[in-house]
Structures are given as C-alpha cells and as structure tokens.
A and B are shown apart, each in its own frame.
Chain A
C-alpha cells in the first residue's frame, strides 16, 4: 500500500472542489453551525459556566449522520456511473484513490469545524476558559472525524447506491459510538475490552485535555483499518 502524494493530490483537490461546487459543503457547514449553536446557547446561561463542554458533547452526535452523508457518494457514485473504471485504469494505486478521497472528506469536516471557533471566542469574552480541554476537544473531534470518514468511505465502497452507503455508514459509526454506552448490559470480563473499543471513551479521555498515546493509537488504528478495508473492497474486482 505505497502511496505517492503527487498522485493523491489531484483526487483530493477534485473531491474537495466538488463539495464546494455542489451544495454539499455549504449545507454541512450551515447544519453544523445551526445545531451546535442551538445546543451551545440553550444552556450556556442556564449553567452560567464559561465552558464548551456542551458543544463537545453534541458534535460527536451530529457527526453520526453528517459524516456518512459527506462520504456516501465518494465511491458509490463512481461505481454507479462507471467512472471507477476510468479512475482505476489510470496509473494510480487503489490506496492512492482511497487516500485522496479520505483526505478531501476529512478536510471538509475540518473546515466545517472552523466556524465553531466563534463560540469559543464568544465564551472567552464572557469568562475564563480552560484552554486545555478546548484544544484536547478539537484534537479529539478531528481524530474522531477521521475515523468516521474512513468508516463512511468503507461503507461507500460496498455498494453503488448512495442511500445504502449512507445507511451502512450510519449504522457502523453508530455502533462504534454506542459501544461504551452498553457496558451496563455486559458481563464484567467483557466490559473493559468493549469500553476500549468504543470511540466515545477515547474522545472523552482526550477532551479532558490529556493526550494519551493509547487514545492516539486507538484513533489511528481504527482509521487505518477502515481505510485498509476500503482498499480491499475496491480490489474486489480482482477476485
């Protein structure tokens, strides 16, 4: 799975441009800001604490459906229209194709997160914000988004139907998100393993402002594993 960045770049730029040429990018950014803004303001003065905790709690839930929507067409549309045949007969490896698409979708999520800094700026006028959890929160969100995007791309690689890709992507990320919330129903010996597999557990670790290598390793291995599955899925044509 060697990748040459020079080959990844055109795909990355093309996909990112196509998000902004269609309405997708703007819809994502607006939906994001609106939902996050609603939860951010609705209890800010109720709690009377200068904290972005509420925001960092709601964004992972918003990611659950926004990210599969961003990634659903990345491969399924190419399969449906047949352009996948153009792409895979160019002098590129399958890993480069997946990498370009992954980076474009991840970048879009990153861009959508930028306006939420407004809430941070607002709050820092109102009171003293503890910067550690904010930095940790953003790092955690970006890593989580990376994992979701990778999973979404895998879902998109399984089908030529965008709706199916969306639903599969949603189910996969939702399962990952829920893992550490069902511990109550599990036998004790299984609970700690399942907790470690749940993505929200690692996000909450990072969000406290403590960046632990175990969490970083978790995010990157989940991300790379999903991308690896996507490459395998793209190579199914060879079987």
Chain B
C-alpha cells in the first residue's frame, strides 16, 4: 500500500505551512518524518489522514486519491494524532470497541481484533481501567492499539514517543517495529536516535520544505563531505611536526593534517581526508616501516544529528561551512 505525496502545499491564512513537498513511501516501509517543531510534519500528516484538505497538490494511497475517495482511504489508515488524544472517561476495552465500531467492523471481527490488540500492545492488566487512570506509557499503547484496531495497511503516527521516559520510548519503538513489519508506516519525530532505531527511510523537512530524503546511512554519507582520521603514535623523534607530519601529509587524498604533541614521545594527528579515501592501511604500513607504534587510529563519521543540525539550522547560519565536530 504505497503512499505518494505530490506537490503538496498548505496555507493557514497567509502563512505557508508546507511548500510544494513531494515524497513517496513504498509498501512495507517505515518512513521517518523528521524536522524541528513547526516544520510542517503535523500539517502533512493531517492532510494524508483526511483531517483537512491541502491548498494544492495531491496525495494518493494505493493509487487512490484521498480527496476523491476520502471515506474509502480513511478505512485503510490508522492514525495516532499528535499528543495522543483519548476519551479519558472510557475504559480501555470500551474505547477500543468504539474505535472499531466507527471503522464499521463486524461484531465477530471486533472481538477478535480487540483480543489481538490487547495482547500485542500489552494492555491485559489495564483493560478494564479508565484511560484517565493510566500512565503515559499505557496511554500511548492504547493510542497505538486504537490506530491499529481495524488492521489498517497504513499507519500514520505523529510523534508516537513524545513525553515518554527512556524505557517507555524503547518499548514503544519496539512495538512500532514489530507492528510495522507488514504495514506502510509514516512516523514523525524530532528525536534523531528514534529515526536511526526505527526507520528504513528518512525525510527531513524544514520550514515547510523537504531538505533531505534517503536512508539514514545514505544521509550520513551524503552530508559527510570530508572524513576525519585521528591517529596517535608513539615515536622517539624529537620533533613530530617536522619529522612525521610531512610523511602523513604525503598520502593520497589528504586535505589537511594537524599536529598536536602530547609529550613523552607521543604524537597526535588529526587528518582531514577527501570522502572515500581510506588511508588507514597505508598509515599502518608506514608506521611499521618507520618504527612508529600506532596507539590509536579511528575515523570520525558524521552523525545523523549533525546532518539534521546542518539542514535545519536557522536561515542566518545556513551559509556557514559545515564541519564535523572534533571531540
């Protein structure tokens, strides 16, 4: 059940919330929708779930246009809105039954789905409690159970882990991974590790525009630009700056190298390389030949966090040259 978003634009009054965005989600994919608060994630989700129409552009779910066949599309979508609204005065079973009835499920199917959701989402101990009495973690599970009660092909989850403690976040993430296996999932978040932990693909959105689209690994590579290699050597030479640095610089692909003496015959180098150059083996052989002892050698890879920061920085900082931080 693929989702195609084409040239979607939404105005709130004069304010442009999303600006001509297009992306695709393939069947069975978990797409992470990433962006700072107010970037347009929720607006996009509200449009896909038929809560409100777009100003222009279109969305198709399984090749069906959502504007023309709104009711049919809604049957296929399970939606967990932002902040997980719930009827606090209903108990868990009542609420899930209600959600199932609104989806038009038959009585026998409701009972079956209800049992399954209580089982899968781990709601057995609280199923007769009022939702208002439940902890935030349980409420989130109820929200997820509600979104999946009719076994939809598409799941739209708006910040499913916001406000949870770290243990609950891991639980909910696992649940999404487990449930998302057979479904097409779009989940929004502004928490980066979440994307790396759960998503097959990432779309980064900023100020209503898509600024990146790819797998988490791809994005890391694409935005890496250059790599950093940190080398620490033990060598009994009086002046590392003059005797070792030029030798390291002579390798292919080295853009620049910095030297930092640590004393006691220890020398530290930070070598910036063009992307795709791996000189570690050469360094090792050189060290053996020269009689240096390699104490440490590692590459610094750009984290997704840095990619995100780079892409969604305030406009004033946008021209600043991107450089991975050296720790």
Residues of B within 8 A of A14 (CB): 90, 98
Interface of A (DSSP majority class) = helix
| Contact status A93-B50, CB under 8 Å | no
Alpha-carbon distance between A87 and B86 when the two chains are bound, in angstroms: 11
| Contact status A7-B102, CB under 8 Å | yes
A86 interface residue per 8 A CB criterion = yes
| Contact status B51-A85, CB under 8 Å | yes
Interface of B (DSSP majority class) = loop
Residues of B within 8 A of A9 (CB): 101
A233 to chain B, nearest CB (A): 15
Q: State which of A22, A81, A89 has its C-beta within 8 Å of the C-beta of B74.
A: A89
* A91 and B75 contact, Cβ closer than 8 Å, known pairs A6-B104, A21-B89: yes
| Contact status B79-A89, CB under 8 Å | yes
Interface hub of B52, B82, B99 (most chain A Cβ within 10 A): B52
Residues of B160-206 contacting chain A, CB below 8 A? none
Q: State which of B51, B77, B98, B99 has its C-beta within 8 Å of the C-beta of A88.
A: B51
Alpha-carbon distance between A29 and B136 when the two chains are bound, in angstroms: 36
* 0/1 string, B52-65, CB within 8 A of A gives 1: 11000000000000
Alpha-carbon distance between A88 and B102 when the two chains are bound, in angstroms: 10
Alpha-carbon distance between A144 and B135 when the two chains are bound, in angstroms: 44
- A9: nearest residue on chain B (CB-CB)? B101
B103 interface residue per 8 A CB criterion = yes
Residues of B within 8 A of A11 (CB): 102
Alpha-carbon distance between A158 and B52 when the two chains are bound, in angstroms: 18
Residues of A within 8 A of B86 (CB): 81, 83
* A82 and B85 contact, Cβ closer than 8 Å, known pairs A14-B98, A88-B51, A92-B102: yes
Besides A14-B90, A91-B75, 14 other A-B contacts (C-beta < 8 A): A6-B104, A7-B102, A10-B98, A10-B102, A17-B94, A81-B85, A82-B82, A82-B83, A85-B51, A86-B81, A90-B99, A90-B102, A90-B103, A237-B51
